[in-house]
Amino acid sequence: MLRPRVPRCRGPAGREVPLKLAVFVDYASARLRIPVERVRLAEDLGYDAVFTAEAYGSDAITPLAFLAAHTRRIRLGTGVCQVAGRPPAMAAMQLATLDALAGGGRVIAGFGLSGPQIVEGWYGQPWGRPNARLRDYVEIVRKVWRREAPVAHDGREIQLPYRGPGSVGLGKPLRSILHMNPDIPIWLGTGGPANVRLTAEIADGWLPMGFVPGMMEVYRPWLEEGLRRSGRRLEDLEIQAQVQVILGDDVRGAIDSLKPMVALYVGGMGHRDVNFHRDQMARRGFAEAASRIQELFLAGRREEAVRAVPDEYIEQGALIGPPARIRERFAAWRDSGATGLIVHTGQDEALRLLAELAELRPGTSAAR
């Protein structure tokens, strides 16, 4: 008797693993619209997860609670929750509540730092020591979920009970009333060396910033160093890259349509001296273009900044064109070292094409 064929990709350690696909819900629009039917389609096609995100508008968790009521199997992931936006105990409460409402075992808790402009300008929190804060945050969230003892933590950046400025000294460790799922996976959205090492050390999955085919060799030493700290191997870490997908014959128009967002993030989403999007563009081999885009954007010459985005940079992070062109270029993503792809698209047919290329099984979630 023949066994069903399982979709495979070349994972980060060179092994063959089931390829997972996820669909992304936009968070950067003036009006909140949740594409329920598109998410349901993805679920029916065998997509593993749906991811949301947040900047300084709609939050990442509420849309997933809404989607939980309209779906059955698909995993519900934050990609990412900004850690400055919630104390770790509140993040643990919200995500555990979502997991309970969704039936258990469906939530992926993705966390990330954002940048100092949003952390200090929007949330009113100190940027401080972000690497240490992320470590403290993850440890506290896991303590809350596990309910092994009343939660206390003496970290470099976060202490529970709080005893800093303004404290009255009456705080006490507490244990969650709700018996939570202790095994909710934590994924971290990171891109720089220190935080990628931390991700590999403490997280269940990685949402890499700016990961495209060919970048695994840059990240591999950082990942392996972090994994050594925790006694794990590269195959113990899920790696979910992101890819823009535009299906159609107008390749030129599709490339140009993606440039304004790149110019905004590389040019304006960060300080002149601290911009992680500019840094990741440079890491991918476009340092000169990244500096020029930022220079033009900050000078108010935004149309010129958009035109300065290289076509090659767009193509690295996207699958664009008619089906044959996308099919040919998909192979590089399949063998990139990522174990899954978050698909950014507004086209149902693009979802169907990617499901076909990844050999998903309709009506089931990808193997976990």
Q: What percent of the chain has pLDDT over 70?
A: 94
Choice among 156-170, 259-273, 339-353 with the minimum mean pLDDT: 259-273
**How much is the pLDDT for 318?**
97
Tens of pLDDT, residue by residue over 74-128, are 999 999 999 999 999 999 999 999 999 999 999 999 999 998 989 999 999 999 9
Q: How confident is the model at residue 28 (pLDDT cuts 50, 70, 90)?
A: confident
Does residue 98 sit in the same domain as residue 145? yes
Residues 142 and 268 in one domain: no
Per cent of the chain over pLDDT 90 is 86
Q: How far is CA 42 from CA 135, 156, 235, 348, in A?
A: 33, 42, 26, 9
Residue closest to 240 by CA, chosen among 101, 29, 47? 47
CA distances to 111, 138, 180, 211, 238 from 145, rounded to whole Å, are: 15, 11, 5, 30, 21
pLDDT attached to residue 17: 65
If asked whether residues 189 and 277 sit together in one domain, one would say no
* Each residue's pLDDT tens digit, 220-238: 999 999 999 999 999 999 9
**Is 362 within the bounds of a domain?**
no
Confidence of residue 367 (pLDDT cuts 50, 70, 90): very low
How many Å apart are CA 102 and CA 204, to the nearest integer?
20
Whichever domain contains 97, its CATH number is 3.20.20.30
Q: Are residues 129 and 268 in the same domain?
A: no
Same domain, yes or no, for 345 and 203? yes
- Helices 130-146 and 193-202 meet at what angle, rounded to 10? 20
> Does residue 3 sit within a domain?
no
The total number of structural domains in the chain stands at 2
Q: Say yes or no: 23 and 89 in one domain.
A: yes
Are 154 and 266 in a shared domain?
A: no
What is the per-residue pLDDT for 111?
98
Would you say residue 1 lies in a domain? no
d(CA 310, CA 319): 16
Long-range contacts of 250-255 (CB under 8 A, 24+ apart): 251/320, 251/321, 251/325, 254/318, 254/320, 254/321, 255/311, 255/314, 255/315, 255/318, 255/320
So what's the pLDDT on residue 361? 86
* pLDDT interval class at 274 (50, 70, 90): confident
Separation of alpha carbons 30 and 19, rounded Å = 33
User: Could you tell me if 268 and 159 lie in one domain?
Assistant: no
Confidence class for position 366, pLDDT limits 50, 70, 90: very low
13 belongs to a structural domain? yes
pTM for the full model?
0.91
Classify residue 305: in a domain, yes or no: yes
Q: Work out whether the CA dihedral 59, 238, 113, 346 comes out positive or negative.
A: negative
- Please give the residue range of the domain that contains residue 254: 249-321
pLDDT at 3 (0 to 100)? 31
pLDDT tier for residue 11 given thresholds of 50, 70 and 90? low
What pLDDT does residue 10 have?
56
pLDDT band at 270; cut points 50, 70, 90: confident
Statement to judge: residues 169 and 90 lie in one domain:
yes
Indicate whether 123 and 152 sit together in one domain: yes
**What dihedral angle (degrees, nearest 10) is formed by the CA atoms of 54, 57, 60, 63?**
-140
Taking residue 341's Cβ as centre, other Cβ atoms within 10 Å add up to 27
Beta-bridged to residue 78, according to DSSP, are 52
Pair (255, 188) in one structural domain: no
CB 99 within 8 A of CB 106: yes
Whether residue 221 is contained in a domain is answered as: yes
pLDDT at 14: 57
Supply the pLDDT for residue 368: 39
pLDDT of residue 6: 39
If 0-12 CB within 10 Å is exposed, 13-18 middle and 19+ buried, where does residue 12 land? buried
User: In angstroms, what CA-CA distances link 47 with 37, 154, 272, 276?
Assistant: 14, 40, 39, 30
Mean pLDDT of all residues in the chain? 93
- Considering the domain architecture, whether residues 78 and 37 belong to the same structural domain is answered as yes
Q: Is residue 112 part of a domain?
A: yes
Q: What are phi and psi of 111, to 5 degrees?
A: -120, 150
Q: Is residue 14 part of a domain?
A: yes
